Amino acid sequence: MGPSQRGQVERLAGNLLKLARLEGDVSQRELAEAANVAESAIAEIESGARQLSLPELAHLLDSIDRELRQQLAPYDSHDDILDATELRLSADEQAHRRAVQDQFAAQLRQGATLETPVT
């Protein structure tokens, strides 16, 4: 597992929770109330500062009428190629690439007409 995939795995529960919450148009406060947990716990989970077990994630998702479905797949080495490319970039080039990607993601969230980012 390369650095990109490791980072995705470490943030998986938080990203899934945030996606489910946004799809359901539910605030962190509303999710916290529905699941009977502190709002700060939801923020920590979504930021990646706190990791969840699968039963904990399932409980939070269930509280907003969502469920987790999983599927196993063969290993895909495409992230290894991306990791190798990222390692060859300078710190400034990496920061620029992340800024462009963040801007593109913000446009997606806002439903704007998208332009393909140039990296």
Nearest to 60 by CA among 84, 88, 39, 77: 39
Radius of gyration from C-alpha coordinates of the chain: 17
CATH homologous superfamily for the domain 3-62:
lambda repressor-like DNA-binding domains (1.10.260.40)
Report pTM: 0.59
Q: Is the dihedral of CA 31, 35, 37, 41 positive or negative?
A: negative
Percent of the chain with pLDDT over 90: 36
Q: Name the residue with tokens 């992340």.
A: 98
Q: Where are the domains of the chain?
A: 3-62, 78-110
Does residue 113 have a pLDDT over 80? no
Percent of the chain with pLDDT over 70: 77
Helix (H) or strand (E) holding 32: helix 28-35
